[in-house]
Amino acid sequence: MGMPFDSLEEAEKFYVNYAKISGFSVRKSSTKYRNNDGAKELYFRDFVCSKEGFKKSSTIKQTRGHVRLGCKAKISLMKDGERWKVHNLVEGHSHVLCTPRKIHLLRSHREVTNAQKSLIDQMAKRYTHKIFYMFQKEVISSMQCGLMKFEEDVQVHIVKRLGMGDSSNYREVSFNPSSQAINCSCKKFENEGIPCSHIIVVLRNNFIDCLPENLILERWTTTAKSRSVYDKDGVELQAQRTSGQSSGRKNIEIVRGFAECLNDAPVEVCNVAKDMLVELQKIKASHTTSGSNNPPQCTSMSIPSIVNVHPPNISKPKGSGKRLKGGKEIAMEEMGKRRTCSVCGKKDKHNARTCPKLKEM
């Protein structure tokens, strides 16, 4: 009570951070204005839990859960001079609080900072789709972590998952700003090759928006297969390709070379490239025309006068033909078990439904 703030925005940010640690969402509620020398001045503001109040009754059936449960938790701020002070604070909630793993899904905590956005945009162009989605989960998970301790002498950061009291949720991240060498005690980068959420927290704390190159493994990038491979002696390994593949690769390299030369090139170079393109189209058209008159020769072979087509062999898989009898049915037939017919009174291999005497009636 009576805690001062320099501005209303500072007080709102303080209460939103408190709600994020506690596990609930915040929204604005009632406001009050007063007349200040003919001007309308805001002097009172309430920030309440998102589940404050009750929803109006409606005839439309909805399957989702209740969003208003009459929660009384709130903070009231009143302006005192040029500063804002806490006028009233209610901490109790009438509902279950959100877990730290889902706190970033609440409305007041669903935000992506500019640093996180630039980091995601950068890696969306570098990583493959599968690896990018894994990295994106780590960025989202970093929103649930906070920097608890920082030792400036050895550049060791202690990162903790918010809302978790267990000591196993603490991770040590060592960072060298000069070389940008960084490693975490969770060893996720060493095992999977993807920066963990703890490393992302430390980078964000040091105002580094882009991921350092030493944390981007070449094998997870989209250009992993387009670069040359070298052996242990530094000799480039040449893959065995067919003539079509090698010529296609050479054509791609030629086109790339032209594109690099024409990038930001003067007008004279562009005019020369246009003339060369026209000449190439003429040469291609002449080859296409000459090639259509002389079709390629095929290997000659004799066609037999009589072709004997044999019918395919008929196979009898299980279930084809007659019905397969079970073991019990076969055993009863072999034993020749006789039953007394209730129609004719004889002991034979028939019953009242299959009795021959029924046909005579």
Give the tokens for residue 325: 């009898």
Give per-residue pLDDT as tens, 24-63. Answer: 889 888 889 888 888 888 889 999 998 888 877 766 666 6
pLDDT of residue 222: 87
Say how far apart CA 229 and CA 252 lie, in whole Å.
19
Say how far apart CA 346 and CA 349 lie, in whole Å.
9
Give per-residue pLDDT as tens, 275-328. Answer: 888 888 888 888 766 655 555 555 556 777 787 888 887 777 766 666 777 888
Least confident of 1-5, 12-16, 122-126, 275-279: 1-5
pLDDT of residue 131: 92
Give the tokens for residue 243: 């003539």
Among 129, 137, 147, residue whose Cα is nearest residue 205: 147
pLDDT of residue 96: 86
Give per-residue pLDDT as tens, 141-166. Answer: 887 777 776 666 557 877 776 655 55
Mean pLDDT score, 90-101: 84
Give per-residue pLDDT as tens, 199-216. Answer: 888 888 888 888 888 899
Query: pLDDT higher for 158 or 11?
Result: 11
Alpha helix ranges (H) inside 263-326:
267-293
pLDDT of residue 359: 78
* Contact between 25 and 108 (Cβ < 8 Å): yes
> What does the CA dihedral 24, 25, 30, 36 come to, rounded to 10 degrees?
110
Mean pLDDT for the chain overall: 79
pLDDT of residue 337: 60
Q: Where are the domains of the chain?
A: 4-55+66-99, 114-220
Question: If you search the block for the tokens 């020769």, which residue do you land on?
Answer: 297
Give per-residue pLDDT as tens, 318-361. Answer: 666 667 778 888 777 766 666 778 888 887 777 788 888 887 77
Query: pLDDT higher for 233 or 41?
Result: 41
* Stretch (H or E) spanning 87: strand 83-90
Please tell me whether residue 331 adopts helix, strand or coil conformation.
helix
With pLDDT > 90 as the criterion, what percentage of the chain qualifies? Answer: 7
Q: Give bridge partners of residue 127 from the DSSP assignment.
A: 221
Radius of gyration (C-alpha) of the chain in whole angstroms: 40
Amino acid in position 94: S
Among 52, 50, 48, residue whose Cα is nearest residue 25: 50
pLDDT of residue 134: 92
Residues 6+ apart with CB under 8 A from 313: none
Query: pLDDT higher for 202 or 116?
Result: 202
pLDDT of residue 39: 86
* Stretch (H or E) spanning 22: helix 8-22
Say how far apart CA 13 and CA 29 lie, in whole Å.
15
Give the tokens for residue 74: 């709130």
68 has pLDDT over 60: yes
Please tell me whether residue 4 adopts helix, strand or coil conformation.
strand
